Amino acid sequence: MSENGHKIEIPATIVVRDLALKIEKSPIELIKKLMSNGVMATINQTVDFDTAAIIVAEYGFEAIPEVVEVVKEESGEVPYWRRMIAGEDTAKLSLRPPVVTILGHVDHGKTSLLDVIRQTDVAAGEAGGITQHIGAYQVERNGRLITFLDTPGHAAFTQMRARGAQGADIVVLVVAADDGVMPQTREAIAHAKAARVPILVAMNKIDKSNANPEKVKQQLSELELVPDDWGGNTMVIPVSAREKKGIDDLLEGILLVADSNDIRANPEGTVVGTVIEAQVEKNKGVMATLLVQNGTLEPGEIVVAGSTFGKLKALTDFKGQPVKQAGPSMPVLVMGLAEVPSAGDIFQVVETEREARSIVEQRIQDAKSQAQSKTKVSLEDIFERAKAGEARALNLIVKADVQGSLDPVVGELNKLSGGEIGINILYAETGNIGENDIMLASASSAIVIGFNVQADVSARRVAEKEGVSIRLYEIIYRMTEDIEKALKGMLEPVVVEKVLGRAQVLAVFSASKLGKVAGCKVTDGELRRNARVRLFRGSDMLFEGEMASLRHEKEDVREMRQGFECGVGFKNFKDIQVGDQLICYVLEKS
């Protein structure tokens, strides 16, 4: 942004380093100035407009709010790609190729469709064809490029969202004309809608004798994807991957959707993008596929990706050819990063290795702090979050045992919407709660509601890691009562049991103070002193209470992890035998 006299445009929040650049001052000098005003901030932290205005005023500048021309969706959220260019000069923005990902039910032809699109373009292009897989590729249609992410599946799509990224601008939903909308199709729709990405439907297998396009369109309409030939806004394009029919129409449709969404970037702007995939290769080291989303990436530049950085040695396109630069929407394979970044990490270009190291150190520290203070989105705190302006709607994922239960549950939940805090049901389906449900909830800050179902062990483990709240109910009015109370700020926290670990008694010893002590081997998780324990003999529970002592080789310890042996004492209990099983747990508010 340009200065007008002593006036300077500043966004709602700005990184200290960027603020220093705007007023042409040293970041260190700016940090000292902030400290003198009672604000402790590092070079990579952000300050709000008011704070920045006070600081720049001391250097003779008048701060005025930066005007960023972004089009908000009906939900009030800005599309992901617009956030990537929020700080760019709008006069320098130009159209960029759309980035497309393919989602849909298993066996409906996602991979086959990608292969046909790729082969059709290669046959019309260079004779050498594609020489390597880098997780993404580009095809040309009428002189315009389209970028495809070669990683079909909504799990990968949502994992990227959970990490704060979103590689795709458009989702192509593949539905088999002979099979119709299936559970994974509905899941994919929910994931795409939660990401607020435009959806275009490729109705595959139209060559089959039992294809029923009208039935598919009816099913899509019931899921709020009304076909355009039925008066709706969703393009439904008949294709056949096997007979290579409709591919040109599909590519045309993608370009039409891209045009209607005005996807732009600044090729001369800040270089940022997303890590698509990465791995270590023999004799080459770390190889990563980067999708540039703004600016132009060149060899020799220093890139920070997640919690690693490095100087790029070479850029290679999906055909295996070295390139001198990569502009917006171009995927390139790079080497030079020190460690393997994670898919979904945001990357950026910086000036010096010192700056890169500083950013990485800060991110590692921030990650540790977030891990220690991570709190799940729960019904108990939704009202407080709304008052603080952090939440305007309660996002829910609903699972029920049968369709006959699901419909009334969704109906009752929708009745509760309409107050200050709305209810947004992202996904409703029958079946137990699985990992995909948890990942969608994590990426969308949602709560998982289960009615007459259970959560898989793996789902519970992921939920604990991702900070996702799971609420299980067997009576419908208790569910609606809890949510109604949460929306009004009246719901009391629920105390839940968290199992820390398990152990087996291998021997029994006598101790002067405690009497009997169990010599145990920790078989799972950990044992923790001052936690609660249960002792089982077969299926019978013999003891439940506090752990009196925890020792390892005659030393008192605070915890003992899986694979180690230790001595466990129980308060006022001595009936211990070899073979008894021990469960260690704590009670937490959920």
- What mean pLDDT comes out for the span 341-367? 85
- What mean pLDDT comes out for the span 100-121? 80
Q: What is the CATH number of domain 497-589?
A: 2.40.30.10
User: What are the C-alpha distances in Å from 193 to residues 171, 172, 466?
Assistant: 10, 12, 21
334 and 315 Cβ atoms separated by less than 8 Å = yes
pLDDT for res 130: 42
CATH 3.40.50.1950 fits domain 272-373 = no
CB atoms within 10 A of CB 229: 10
- What mean pLDDT comes out for the span 428-443? 86
pLDDT > 80? residue 506: yes
pLDDT for res 82: 66
C-alpha closest to that of 250 among 234, 260, 238, 232? 238
477 burial (CB, 10 Å; 0-12 / 13-18 / 19+) is: exposed
User: CATH 2.40.30.10: which residues of the chain?
Assistant: 272-373, 497-589
Among the residue ranges 370-384, 520-534, 574-588, the one predicted with the least confidence is 370-384
Among the residue ranges 160-174, 426-440, 461-475, the one predicted with the least confidence is 160-174
CB atoms within 10 A of CB 540: 8
pLDDT > 60? residue 217: yes
Q: What is the CATH number of domain 7-65?
A: 1.10.10
C-alpha closest to that of 135 among 156, 117, 151, 119? 151
Rounded Cα–Cα distance for residues 271 and 295 (Å) = 4
pLDDT > 50? residue 126: no
Rounded Cα–Cα distance for residues 451 and 494 (Å) = 17
pTM of the model: 0.60
Rounded Cα–Cα distance for residues 538 and 553 (Å) = 28
CATH ID of 379-493, from 3.40.640.10, 3.40.50.300, 3.40.50.10050, 3.40.47.10: 3.40.50.10050
304 and 326 Cβ atoms separated by less than 8 Å = no
Angle at 70 between CA 265 and CA 290, to 5 degrees: 30
CATH superfamily of 97-262: P-loop containing nucleotide triphosphate hydrolases (3.40.50.300)
User: What are the C-alpha distances in Å from 273 to residues 132, 305, 334, 532?
Assistant: 21, 9, 13, 48
pLDDT for res 292: 93
Fill in the DSSP letter of residue 326: B
pLDDT for res 385: 61
Among the residue ranges 11-20, 90-99, 310-319, 408-417, the one predicted with the least confidence is 11-20
pLDDT for res 206: 92
Q: Is 352 left (phi over 0), alpha (psi -120 to 50) or beta?
A: beta
Q: Is 28 left (phi over 0), alpha (psi -120 to 50) or beta?
A: alpha
Q: What is the DSSP string of 471-532?
A: EEESSHHHHHHHHHHHHHT-PPPPEEEEEEEEEEEEEEEEETTTEEEEEEEEEEEEEETTSE
pLDDT for res 213: 93
Reported confidence tier of residue 120, pLDDT bands at 50, 70, 90: low
Reported confidence tier of residue 7, pLDDT bands at 50, 70, 90: confident
Distance of CA 466 to the CA centre of its chain: 10
Helical axes 154-162 vs 435-444, angle rounded to 10°: 40
Q: Are strands 532-537 and 540-552 parallel, antiparallel or unpaired?
A: antiparallel
pLDDT for res 96: 92
User: CATH 3.40.50.10050: which residues of the chain?
Assistant: 379-493
3-state helix, strand, coil in the chain (%, to 5): 30, 35, 35
Fill in the DSSP letter of residue 442: H
- What mean pLDDT comes out for the span 475-487? 82
Rounded Cα–Cα distance for residues 441 and 398 (Å) = 10
**What are 559's strand-pairing partners?**
528
Per-residue tokens: 178: 């002979």
User: CATH 3.40.50.300: which residues of the chain?
Assistant: 97-262
133 and 150 Cβ atoms separated by less than 8 Å = yes
pLDDT for res 549: 87
pLDDT > 60? residue 75: no
Angle at 483 between CA 481 and CA 487, to 5 degrees: 115
Find which of 31-40, 209-218, 466-475 is predicted with most confidence, using mean pLDDT: 209-218
365-422 pLDDT, tens digit each:
776 665 544 455 666 666 566 555 555 678 889 999 887 888 888 888 888 876 667 7
Rounded Cα–Cα distance for residues 470 and 376 (Å) = 10
Rounded Cα–Cα distance for residues 129 and 236 (Å) = 30
Per-residue tokens: 546: 């506090």
528-541 pLDDT, tens digit each:
888 889 899 888 88
Residues shown for the chain? 590
Per-residue tokens: 260: 């209607």
Fill in the DSSP letter of residue 573: -
pLDDT for res 18: 78
